[in-house]
Amino acid sequence: MTKLENRIKEDAILPFQLEHSDIRGRVGRLNETLVSILSQHSYPDIVETLVAEAVLITALIGQTINLKWKLSLQIRGNGSIKLIATDYFAPDKKNGSGKIRAFASFDEKNLNHHEKKPFNELGKGYFAVLIDQGPKTDPYQGITPLTGGSLHKCAETYFAQSEQLPTRFSITVGKSNNTNQKNIWKAGGIIIQKMPKSAQSNTGVIQESQNILLSPADLLNEDENEDWNRVNFHIDTVDELELTGPYVTQQQLLVKLFHEEKPRAFESRSIEFGCTCSPKKVKNTMSMYSSKDIEKMTTEEGTVTADCQFCGKHFIMDPSELGFDAKNND
């Protein structure tokens, strides 16, 4: 750990802990990373808004767990926006950057470009968190309904429901009006989580609430609730420009909001756009198909083509190398 004022990074997540109230959190900002992700696609603003929010939520969640490989969000709805998918990959070396990517699927004909609340375009569906710690581990999946009017409210419900962990997000996304950076997407946000002192304290409440969606208030005792409400009061005072920067650094924001809570900052962690697609992974995906299936996919030029949904990279493959009965299948 080092001093607060020495931790300045853009496109980064700053972990912190509030000593006075046993609350941990992250302050996150994405600028160039978000621009890089969205530039891989040509989405309407209403879709980009939701993708930007999902990307920041993914980055914030990815930094709150002991992640060894990949955390993903899958948001599916029956509205005009059908799917938003994000992947966050943990750094592969000490002091390395976490990598993140995203894509969306939507019905252009039925998309309401004038909808003031993009979340409404999702309709009914679910918000899923998937954690894959790599080979020889069982992937974890937690699901909650699309609820609360925003993606970050869905994330709060997920943590309350699946992890019994009181969680609050404050997030803003949008295009910069700065003269030098007009129409550049930016995102900033805070996540806080109340660390449980006792696994027994809320057992009765949780058991009685299994058939309803839980909220942080359902998980806190009277003393914990007082700390939680006080910290949330401070978060409610933050404005959008303070969240996205750059005039207020992440460190300055921590001190401004939580100076009475004795904030302790940890090492800031960089985030950048990154995609893991490769010819080998395309071949692995195709390994489920028979030679007859591969033949149907083969173009007039005698090749099989595939595009990465995340970065748009185009792959041209030899059909004889694809499928479970390929000639060079190991």
Phi, psi angles (nearest 5°) of residue 267: -65, 130
Q: Are 24 and 265 in contact (CB under 8 A)?
A: no
- Please give the structure tokens belonging to residue 69: 């490989």
- Please give the structure tokens belonging to residue 172: 């803003």
Beta bridge partners, 131, equal: 71, 140
User: Can you give the pLDDT at residue 9?
Assistant: 54
User: Can you give the pLDDT at residue 199?
Assistant: 42
293 to each of 78, 288, 320, how far by Cα in Å? 30, 9, 12
CA 103 to chain centre: 12
In angstroms, rounded to a whole number, what is the distance separating the alpha carbons of residues 271 and 170?
Answer: 19
CA 185 to chain centre: 16
- Closest by CA position to 294, among listed 324, 314, 315: 324
* Cβ neighbours around 64 below 10 Å, total: 18
* Cβ neighbours around 21 below 10 Å, total: 20
In angstroms, rounded to a whole number, what is the distance separating the alpha carbons of residues 50 and 121?
Answer: 10
Beta bridge partners, 29, equal: 12, 188
Beta bridge partners, 99, equal: 89, 272
- Please give the structure tokens belonging to residue 198: 């006792």
Residue 84, SS3 per DSSP: strand
- What are the percentages of helix, strand and coil residues in the chain, rounded to 5? 35, 25, 40
Beta-sheet strands, E only, within 78-213: 81-89, 98-106, 125-132, 140-145, 167-175, 185-194
In angstroms, rounded to a whole number, what is the distance separating the alpha carbons of residues 227 and 117?
Answer: 31
In angstroms, rounded to a whole number, what is the distance separating the alpha carbons of residues 158 and 206?
Answer: 14
Residue ranges and CATH numbers for the domains of the chain are 9-273 (3.55.30.10), 279-321 (no CATH)
* Cβ neighbours around 242 below 10 Å, total: 19
pLDDT in 10s for each residue of the chain, 330 residues: 343 433 345 799 999 999 888 899 999 999 999 999 999 999 999 999 999 999 999 999 987 777 788 999 999 999 999 999 999 999 888 888 999 999 999 999 999 999 999 999 999 999 999 998 888 888 899 999 999 999 999 999 999 988 889 999 999 999 876 656 567 899 999 999 998 764 434 433 433 344 567 777 777 777 788 889 999 999 999 988 899 877 888 999 999 999 999 999 998 999 999 999 999 998 888 889 998 999 999 999 999 999 999 999 999 999 889 988 776 655
Q: What DSSP character marks residue 309?
A: T
Residue 56, SS3 per DSSP: helix
Q: Is the dihedral of CA 290, 296, 298, 302 positive or negative?
A: positive
User: Can you give the pLDDT at residue 179?
Assistant: 52
In angstroms, rounded to a whole number, what is the distance separating the alpha carbons of residues 73 and 88?
Answer: 9
Q: Tell me the residue length of the chain.
A: 330
In angstroms, rounded to a whole number, what is the distance separating the alpha carbons of residues 70 and 61?
Answer: 11
